[in-house]
């Protein structure tokens, strides 16, 4: 049975090869800028290869999984590409994620090595499977760089420790799980390299580009930054964390460093459009603005574009983590009506169709995708009989991925997003399974039952939608004397032990009972309307 990926593709064999080729072609170009320093392609490739050699020499490679629990930095990228060059799978995990969540993933991932910036004593990690950036061991790996001759550097650059096949797993991204447990999306080299290589060609990304990196490496938007950006010979600018939530600082950063290319979630762009002083900025250097991960409210989408030069490429990209980007829409000419932007047409070599059993008519249904960007499956789960695969019409024995997104085709052949067929939502671009939040909440003694819904997040004056947020309706537990208890502070603290920041409800509402629909089940739609009225 073939799941998701055609056997052939027109691009590279491995995801790291584009970076290696760029480093050999543009050795003296700056590869990465951070507020702590910068590094050229030559030096970066040398460091990556030295780490790859260390992994092989210490039996941590090939064909093993390496977890990276790290903040974004040059060393993080060295570790990431070193892992790939050694023939391993990299698994990025959030360094600020709660220890409970990280330990759950560590138990699931069966990692051969776990790399941290500093040792986190709350994590269940064997000493022989641990490496930290503050250790002498990490520093000693790169001692050769100080004394290496030109011939030795050439040897390091050309060193290829292992032959990697396209079917080998390049990375695993852990996402929110509907059962309350995160699940790992496994992505092969064949799948991983397709979108970055296509994007490099489609958007003409080359050595003159300055690419701003905003997404964490745990988020699939980062694959553009890492593998399109660092295969171009251009420079990747790591946006400091202190700038990300301050739209004026962020827009100032884009201006100061003459950023040409940005791939971001609409929430961040909306905040900049409304509060980033964009009318004072010089964006004449901008070439490409890409956005994905959630719906971009049409008003703020149009407003942001008004601050950019007319010739800027302005694209809406779409795809769940399981497919990376699989459709795209050129938004250079935004429709004049107030309808949401289309999610566009499928990428080359992809096939898309709808399952009309989920929808509101013959032409509306759940979008299903088959093509080279698709995942291999979820780590530790069998593909056989999995409900997220479905048969491809006219292609016996081939399966497509059910995205869970309800769509239809417009008269121009563009897919139009209508909503979800399940309880998954997007918050600041992150996929969030409401069931995982509800599972965390009901573990608290004060919570008898709960339902989590999303609602629009408004601008400070309440006039515009800038994203979405979460609200938890809770039926509290009764104490022994019959009183109803609900300690909201303790509940928030409890959730922080299980969930990353983007999955935390912004508001908790006590409720005596949930509304019941005609089916006899909780009427979630009515609760969503109630939450919206409270916004």
pLDDT the model gives residue 143: 84
339 within some domain: no
pLDDT of residue 484: 63
Pairing mode, if any, of strands 364-370 and 398-409? antiparallel
Residue-averaged pLDDT of the chain:
90
In this predicted structure, the answer to whether residue 203 has a pLDDT above a threshold of 60 is yes
Task: Report the sign of the C-alpha dihedral through residues 420, 183, 392, 187, in that order.
Answer: positive
Terminal CA-to-CA distance of the chain, rounded, Å? 48
Rounded Cα–Cα distance for residues 76 and 444 (Å)? 36
Phi, psi of 23 (to 5 degrees): -65, -40
CA atoms of 170 and 65, how far apart (whole Å) = 9
Residue with the larger pLDDT of the pair 488 and 481: 488
Please report which confidence band the pLDDT of residue 479 belongs to, taking 50, 70 and 90 as the band edges. low
Spatial separation of the C-alpha atoms in residues 531 and 10, rounded to whole Å? 48
Q: What is the pLDDT of residue 160?
A: 56
Residues 287 and 410 placed together within one structural domain of the fold: no
**CB-CB neighbours of 61 under 10 Å:** 23
Question: What is the model's pLDDT at position 8?
Answer: 46
pLDDT at 357: 78
Specify which of 84-88, 152-156, 498-502, 520-524 reaches the highest per-range mean pLDDT.
84-88
Give a yes or no: residue 338 inside a domain: no
Span 10-19, average pLDDT: 80
- Identify the weakest region by mean pLDDT among 69-78, 82-91, 429-438: 429-438
Q: Provide the pLDDT for residue 150.
A: 54
Q: Are residues 250 and 354 in the same domain?
A: no
| Residue 339: per-residue pLDDT | 85
Q: Are residues 364 and 296 in the same domain?
A: no
For residue 340, being part of any structural domain is answered with: no
Q: Is the pLDDT at 323 greater than 50, yes or no?
A: yes
Q: Is residue 336 part of a domain?
A: no
Q: What is the pLDDT of residue 416?
A: 95
Mean per-residue pLDDT, 153-181: 77
Q: Could you tell me if 167 and 71 lie in one domain?
A: yes
For residue 145, the model assigns a pLDDT of 72
Q: Which of 330, 362, 382 is the last residue of a domain?
A: 330
325-330's contacts with Cβ under 8 Å and 24+ in sequence apart are: 325/195, 325/199, 325/292, 325/373, 326/350, 326/352, 326/369, 326/371, 326/373, 326/374, 327/352, 327/415, 328/202, 329/414
Structural domains counted in the chain: 3
**Are 64 and 174 members of one domain?**
yes
What are the strands, taking DSSP E only, across 228-323?
235-238, 261-264, 288-291, 313-318
Please report the pLDDT score of residue 187 as a whole number.
98
The pLDDT of residue 326 is 97
Are 76 and 68 spatial neighbours (Cβ–Cβ below 8 Å)? yes
Mark whether 304 and 280 lie in a shared domain.
yes
Strand-pair partners of 474: 450, 510
For residues 472-494, average pLDDT: 79
Query: In this predicted model, which residue has the larger pLDDT, 483 or 297?
Result: 297
Q: Do 87 and 144 share a domain, yes or no?
A: yes
Residue 159 pLDDT greater than 80, yes or no: no
pLDDT at 2 over 70: no
Q: What is the mean pLDDT of residues 88-105?
A: 96
457-460 — which CB contacts under 8 Å span 24+ positions?
457/267, 457/506, 457/535, 458/535, 459/274, 459/275, 460/275
- Is residue 403 in a domain? yes
Q: Which helix (H) or strand (E) holds 420?
A: strand 415-420
Give percent of the chain above pLDDT 90.
Answer: 68
Q: How far is CA 413 from the centre of its chain?
A: 27
Q: Are residues 467 and 500 in the same domain?
A: yes
Domain of 353 in residue numbering reads as 346-420
Whether residue 365 lies inside any domain: the answer is: yes
Is residue 415 located within the same domain as residue 449?
Answer: no
In a domain, 252, yes or no: yes
pLDDT of 9 reads: 46
Domain containing residue 454: CATH number: 3.30.300.30
Q: Where are the beta strands (DSSP E) in 4-145?
A: 30-34, 37-40, 65-69, 89-93, 113-116, 130-132
For the stretch 260-286, pLDDT in tens is 999 999 999 999 999 999 999 999 999
pLDDT bucket at 154, cuts 50 / 70 / 90 = low
Round to whole Å and give the CA distance between 267 and 359: 27
User: Given a cut of 70, is residue 188 above it in pLDDT?
Assistant: yes
**Do 111 and 233 sit in the same domain of this protein?**
yes
**Are 50 and 144 in contact, with CB atoms under 8 Å apart?**
yes
Q: Which of 152, 137, 161 is nearest to 52 (CA)?
A: 161
The answer as to whether 337 is a domain residue is no
- Work out whether the CA dihedral 60, 62, 64, 70 comes out positive or negative: positive
Domain termination residue (choose one: 298, 330, 362): 330
Same domain, 39 and 77: yes
**Domain end call among 390, 420, 450:** 420
Q: Is it the case that residue 485 has pLDDT exceeding 80? A: no
Q: What is the pLDDT of residue 5?
A: 61
pLDDT at position 158: 58
Domain holding 361: CATH number? 2.30.38.10
Same-domain status, 440 and 310: no
CATH code of the domain containing 109? 3.40.50.12780
The pLDDT score that the predictor gives to residue 6 is 56
Give residue-wise pLDDT tens across range 406-435: 999 999 999 999 988 887 888 888 889 898
24-54 pLDDT, tens digit each: 999 999 999 999 999 999 999 999 999 999 9
Note the residue count of the chain. 535
What region does 407 belong to: left with phi over 0, alpha with psi -120 to 50, or beta? beta
How much is the pLDDT for 518?
A: 67
What would the two tokens of residue 517 be?
């629909």
Spell out the long-range contacts of 301-309 with Cβ–Cβ below 8 A and sequence spacing 24 or more: 301/266, 301/269, 301/331, 301/334, 301/341, 302/334, 303/273, 303/274, 304/269, 304/270, 304/272, 304/273, 304/278, 305/331, 305/334, 307/273, 307/278, 307/279, 307/281, 307/283, 308/283, 309/283, 309/284
Q: What is the pLDDT of residue 161?
A: 53
Average pLDDT value for residue range 63-92? 97
């Amino acid at each position: 049975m073939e799941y998701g990926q055609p056997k052939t593709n027109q691009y590279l064999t491995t995801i790291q090869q584009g970076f290696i080729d760029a480093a050999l072609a543009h050795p003296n170009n700056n590869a990465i800028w951070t507020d702590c320093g910068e590094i050229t392609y030559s030096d970066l490739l040398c460091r990556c290869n030295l780490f790859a050699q260390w992994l092989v020499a210490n039996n941590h490679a090939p064909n093993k999984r390496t977890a990276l629990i790290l903040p974004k930095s040059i060393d993080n990228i060295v570790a990431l590409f070193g892992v790939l060059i050694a023939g391993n799978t990299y698994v990025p995990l959030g360094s600020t994620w709660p220890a409970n969540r990280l330990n759950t993933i560590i138990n699931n991932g069966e990692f051969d090595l776990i790399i941290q910036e500093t040792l986190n004593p709350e994590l269940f990690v064997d000493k022989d499977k641990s490496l930290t950036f503050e250790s002498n061991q990490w520093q000693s790996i790169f001692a050769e760089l100080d004394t290496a001759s030109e011939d030795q550097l050439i040897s390091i650059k050309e060193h290829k420790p292992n032959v990697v096949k396209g079917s080998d797993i390049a990375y695993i991204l852990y996402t929110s799980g509907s059962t309350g447990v995160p699940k790992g999306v496994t992505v092969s080299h064949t799948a991983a390299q397709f979108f970055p290589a296509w994007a490099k060609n489609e958007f003409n990304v080359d050595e003159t580009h300055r690419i701003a990196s905003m997404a964490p490496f745990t988020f699939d938007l980062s694959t553009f930054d890492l593998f399109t950006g660092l295969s171009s010979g251009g420079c990747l600018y790591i946006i400091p964390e202190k700038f990300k939530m301050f739209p004026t600082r962020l827009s100032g950063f884009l201006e100061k460093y003459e950023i040409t290319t940005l791939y971001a979630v609409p929430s961040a762009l909306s905040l900049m459009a409304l509060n980033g002083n964009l009318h004072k900025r010089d964006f004449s250097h901008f070439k490409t603005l890409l956005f994905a991960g959630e719906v971009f409210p049409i008003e703020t989408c149009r407003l942001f574009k008004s601050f950019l030069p007319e010739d800027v490429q302005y694209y809406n990209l779409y795809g769940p983590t399981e497919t990376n980007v699989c459709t795209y829409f050129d938004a250079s000419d935004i429709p004049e009506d107030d309808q949401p932007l289309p999610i566009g047409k499928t990428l080359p070599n992809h096939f898309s169709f709808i399952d009309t059993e989920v929808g509101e008519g013959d032409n509306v249904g759940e979008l299903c995708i088959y093509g080279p960007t698709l995942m291999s499956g979820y780590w530790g789960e069998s593909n056989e009989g999995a409900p997220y695969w479905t048969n491809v019409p006219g292609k016996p024995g081939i399966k497509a991925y059910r995205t869970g997104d309800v769509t239809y085709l417009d008269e121009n052949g563009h897919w139009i997003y209508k909503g979800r067929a399940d309880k998954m939502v997007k918050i600041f671009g992150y996929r969030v399974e409401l069931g995982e939040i509800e599972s965390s909440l009901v573990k608290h003694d004060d919570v008898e039952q709960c339902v989590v819904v999303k609602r629009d997040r408004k601008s400070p004056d309440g006039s515009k939608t800038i994203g979405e947020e979460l609200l938890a309706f809770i039926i509290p537990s009764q104490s022994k004397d019959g009183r109803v208890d609900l300690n909201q502070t303790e509940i928030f603290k409890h959730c922080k032990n299980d969930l990353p920041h983007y999955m935390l409800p912004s508001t908790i509402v006590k409720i005596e009972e949930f509304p019941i629909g005609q089916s006899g089940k909780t009427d979630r739609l009515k609760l969503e309307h109630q939450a919206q009225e409270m916004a």
